[in-house]
Amino acid sequence: MKILDANGQPDLRKTARRGRAARRSVVPDIKSPRARKIPAYTLLNENALKAIEDQADWILQNIGVEFCSDKTALDLFAAAGATVVGEKVTFEPGLARQLCATAPAKFELHARDPANTVLLGGDKVVLMPGYGSPFVSDLEKGRRYATLTDFENFVKLSYSTPWLHHSGGTVCEPTDVPVNKRHLDMVLAHLTLSSKPFMGGVTSLERAQDGIDMARLVFGAAFMEDHAVMQGNINVNSPLIFDDTMSGALRVYAAANQCVCVSPSIFAGAMGPLSPAAVAAQTLAEGMVGIALAQLVRPGCPVVFGSFHSTMNLKSGALAFGSPEANLVTMALSQLGRRLGVPVRSGGGQISASNAPDGQAMQDSTGAMWATLLSGAHQVWHAAGWLEGGLVMSYEKFIMDLDHCGAMMTLLQGFETDEEAFGRDAYHETGPGQNFLSTQHTLRHFATANFQPDIPEAGPYETWVENGSHTADQRATARWKRMLDDYKAPPMAEGIYKALTDFVATRKAAMPDAWY
Amino acid sequence: MKILDANGQPDLRKTARRGRAARRSVVPDIKSPRARKIPAYTLLNENALKAIEDQADWILQNIGVEFCSDKTALDLFAAAGATVVGEKVTFEPGLARQLCATAPAKFELHARDPANTVLLGGDKVVLMPGYGSPFVSDLEKGRRYATLTDFENFVKLSYSTPWLHHSGGTVCEPTDVPVNKRHLDMVLAHLTLSSKPFMGGVTSLERAQDGIDMARLVFGAAFMEDHAVMQGNINVNSPLIFDDTMSGALRVYAAANQCVCVSPSIFAGAMGPLSPAAVAAQTLAEGMVGIALAQLVRPGCPVVFGSFHSTMNLKSGALAFGSPEANLVTMALSQLGRRLGVPVRSGGGQISASNAPDGQAMQDSTGAMWATLLSGAHQVWHAAGWLEGGLVMSYEKFIMDLDHCGAMMTLLQGFETDEEAFGRDAYHETGPGQNFLSTQHTLRHFATANFQPDIPEAGPYETWVENGSHTADQRATARWKRMLDDYKAPPMAEGIYKALTDFVATRKAAMPDAWY
């Protein structure tokens, strides 16, 4: 795989055209189908969409959003025509949406291997692993705190599968590394162990800047002025608050023209009213405000309208990822985000509150993934590995989820209705009551006809029992182990690698360890 | 529950209006939401639909369908303008569709409890249990041949849940009863242990007639002249053959004005070409021919356009229920059936080739159910319990599937976008950064806000481990046991009950046991 040119710089000439026109170009699909060819599902009609949009405007006009200790943000909003009183910002109806108008409808997120560059927006679908779990589990070693080795393993696994198109961000928390230095090891892993797009740190302005500086060592500062190569996940402190860490990190990414993903985080009934309509409206309101801030910092900077939401069992307080009400919100937000004119990161993905990669885990995950992908979301976090409401990245569920990612990407291709698909010659060869297995049509197509999961088939019951009655999760263990054994790092010029590791060493040496 | 009137006859006065107008009336939803309020997903555009319909016409014109040893059927087709040569029938393009035109677009399937009467067609959704499994399994007794007791158990369980609207047919094979007498015990169980709609036997003309005669003892022969109270599942011997057992049973149901469900059965690559487009076209062709025959026997008799299909691993020969290609066919057939103007029984449902109620089982089942219900199918077989490609009805998977049936029926309700849904008063009570749990809006709605599964929540990890780390299937065992313990048979007038049991005794006495 040729990745770097003679000077150790990424060979991005083919895609290095500048400006909006370049952003709209379509990256060729090399490793896997990345575009949907079937229509997005339309859950809500115009009246319902308008009602939700009006409610978002009502929230922004009557309740407002607070920016804590971020005078820069408050000044930007005031200058743009919003009303700022203390730390609270309110907006006349329509203003927040108007401030989002400079955000690109789609853009390329460049990878250091240009073949892995993705387009966010339009008819493209970008899947990535789970995000943020403090624990990992596998069937042999059980559940335990995640370490940097686990982090690196999931980066390697995500790099090794055609069904994830993005290396993710905090795929799990490397809890054996001091909190103030984790971002350095995480970005280093994404940049060196993978050549897919990635997310940088956001837990402080300085950490966000470190990640951007590291990316500049690989992609070049000049290239990054005009091209997004990384994303930062800006969680809203819902309801209706951006804390200064998040708004500060947002401004760092926007100023660097890197992608800001704004993710309101609403558990229905706790961080917002409990109805799907209310959660959708508040997510839209909070999302528009974050996107507006990014555009005020740097008009035209790439953004993603994200979300993270769940229902709760309002009697027990337990979160219920993958519930029907949450799936409805997921579908609604895909529509609302497309109307806003920006790429949509779905609050769905393959998510579950289950403690094991069991039937419940896959029922929840599969339903949420259908809601996500049918409704036309562009970017999907938590597409693999996520268990226990995000507390755990499971090695086995990761593999099971990958199979379903592949199945769904296959489904999104739809099917042909041309002459060859109908196989009329096969009917002339056979006829009523006869078998089609040996027809020329079957022989022409059987090798490539159907999606093939990676987890071995269970096989006939008797054979399965003889082999130990292994459930799907048990059959997945060998797969992730083999993927790690077979993993080969994408090549990187020695000079770049040294610059990165020097940067990490210098930054680490400059700070005492801190665990907050 | 008041079911029978003073004479022991069903109290069907409210719904006993005659003719087509009565069939179009909408049954009130009492026990559960039965109507979709969200739009059906549109997979295929007009060009693709037309291409598939043209291919179906091509098959019927150029290849034809064979009716084995059924001169009555052949004569009916010849008289209707089809070309009959030997046992093969071919149709000019458009003729088969034209012969289907007298079939009702929707109709009521009457239950002996009128509250359980369902409407097939329109925006209604009717879910039913698995069909045809020779084995059952549960986590305590393991996998074993199904018995009449198991059959009765699944009838009781289906009656006890609001998420199944139909008692099914051969929910499992009562293998301890001679083959030639099973239909009597099965119909007796459906009629006495449940008061939901059901399916009768089809394995011979006489067995089909026995079931109809038993239903007449409950509903009255006169009532059944104008009202459908049962269905018969007519499997096509795909490719393109109706054997005389199936076409004969079809004619018995149609002549009695009871519902004929025509189900082509195609494993892609074996009983038809391997592409989704070809499977959809052949299913449509075979389905139209069966429906046409029913309409020739009795114009206007109620029919359902069914299907049963799967892809195979074309290297191993294993069936792959729930595959993306099969899900695409499922979605396409919902559209094609609605265009044909008849209710659609989906080839999806909660199906899997897995040997256990594990993650794979629920991944397959959940995806297939989404394809089924999003695409607008009206009747769903195999909505609960089905495992091992249909070889097994699993008690635990039945319970897990019911939870997902409930979730999907909830999802199909969509959500409100009215003033109360948006909860503006809650924002005035709280504000940015504050909790919504104690707002009046939450208090008004928390008790009914979200769908609540029946399987107990796993709970926090530590508690879950203390309680034995039970996976979802393990937590389901107690539920089906309690449902059986709590089961109460719907009341039936003593005279009717005696007439039914006398009928069964007389018919059994008239035949020696036969195991074929």
Residues of A in contact with B365 (CB under 8 A): 363
Please give the average per-residue pLDDT across B480-498, as a whole number: 98
Question: In this predicted model, what pLDDT tens digit does every residue of A478-508 receive, in sequence order?
Answer: 999 999 999 999 999 999 999 999 999 999 9
Q: CA triplet B94, B96, B101: central angle to 5 degrees?
A: 95
Q: Show the tokens assigned to B108.
A: 């009521």
Q: Do B441 and A274 touch (CB under 8 A)?
A: yes
The neighbour count for residue B466, using CB atoms within 10 Å, is 10
Structure tokens belonging to residue B345:
């029984």
- Per-residue model confidence as pLDDT tens digits over A417-428: 999 999 999 999
What is the nearest CA distance from A504 to chain B, expressed in angstroms?
36
Average pLDDT rounded to a whole number, residues B182-205: 97
Question: Is the whole model's pTM more than 0.90, yes or no?
Answer: yes
Beta pairing class for A107-109 and A345-346: unpaired
Contact map slice: A 86-125 vs B, CB within 8 A: 88
Residue A11: which pLDDT band, with cuts at 50, 70 and 90? very low
- Which residues, 6 or more positions from B406, have their beta carbon under 8 angstroms from its beta carbon? B162, B163, B451, B453, B454
Beta strands in B21-105 (DSSP E): 65-67, 83-85, 88-90
- Per residue in A34-54, pLDDT (tens digit) is 899 999 999 999 999 999 999
pLDDT-based confidence at residue A516 (cuts at 50, 70, 90): confident
Closest by alpha carbon to A350, among A359, A337, A363?
A363
Q: Using a CB–CB cutoff of 8 Å, tell me whether A145 touches chain B.
A: no
Of B38, B312, B356, the CB nearest to A471: B356
The three-state secondary structure class of B128 is coil
- In B, minimum Cα distance to A463 occurs at B355
Mutate to test the interface with B, among A36, A67, A427 (most CBs of B within 10 A): A427
pLDDT band at A32 (very low <50, low <70, confident <90, very high): low
Strand order in the sheet with B319-320: B265-267, B308-312, B319-320
Residue type, B411: L
Q: What pLDDT, on the 0 to 100 scale, is given for residue A315?
A: 83
- Between the two ends of chain B, the Cα-to-Cα distance in Å is 40
Of A7 and B320, the structure prediction assigns the larger pLDDT to B320
Q: What is the number of alpha carbons within 13 Å of residue B182 lying toward its C-beta? A: 27
Q: Which A residues 151-210 touch B at CB under 8 Å?
A: none
Summarised one tens digit per residue, pLDDT across range A213-255 is 999 999 999 999 999 999 999 999 999 999 999 999 999 999 9
Q: Looking at CA atoms only, how far is residue A321 from chain B in angstroms?
A: 12
Q: State the Cα–Cα distance between residues A221 and A227, nearest whole angstrom.
A: 10
* pLDDT beyond 70 at B417: yes
Q: What is the CA radius of gyration of chain A?
A: 23
CA distance A242 to A246: 6
Does A456 contact B at CB distance below 8 Å?
no
The string of pLDDT tens digits covering residues B330-351 is: 999 999 999 999 999 998 999 9
Whole-angstrom distance, CA of residue A404 vs CA of residue B244: 41
Residue B316 CA, distance from chain mean position:
30
Report the Cα B359 to chain-centroid distance in Å.
24
DSSP B439-451: SHHHHHHTTTSS-
Q: Is B273 on the interface with A (CB under 8 A)?
A: yes
pLDDT at position A431, please? 86
pLDDT for the residue numbered B32: 55
**Beta-carbon separation of B370 and A370 below 8 A:** yes
Cis amide linkage into residue B239, ω under 30° from 0:
yes
The reported pLDDT for the residue numbered A117 is 96
User: In this structure, what are the phi and psi dihedrals at residue B199, rounded to the nearest 5 degrees?
Assistant: -120, 145
Does the CB of B139 have a partner CB in chain A at under 8 Å?
A: no
Token couple for A337 = 């985000």
- For an interface test with A, which of B91, B392, B437, B450 has the most A Cβ atoms less than 10 Å from its Cβ? B450
What ipTM describes this predicted complex?
A: 0.93
Residue of A nearest to B440 (CA): A273
**Interface touch A63/B431, C-beta < 8 Å:** yes
Instruction: Inform me whether the pLDDT recorded for B12 exceeds 80.
Output: no
Cβ–Cβ below 8 Å for B47 and A417:
yes
| pLDDT at A280 (0 to 100) | 98
Chain B CB contacts of A327 below 8 Å: 411
**DSSP character string of B203-221:** SSHHHHHHHHHHHHHHH-H
- pLDDT score at A291: 98
In this structure, the strands spanning B345-346 and B308-312 are unpaired
3-state class (DSSP) for residue B35: strand
Q: Which of A189-198, B309-318, B494-503 has the lowest mean pLDDT?
A: B309-318
CA B483 – CA B50 distance, rounded (Å): 47
Pairwise CB contact (< 8 Å): A316 & B457: yes
Q: Do B361 and A359 touch (CB under 8 A)?
A: yes
Spatial separation of the C-alpha atoms in residues A266 and A333, rounded to whole Å: 13
Please indicate whether, in this complex, the C-beta atoms of A471 and B314 are within 8 angstroms of each other.
no
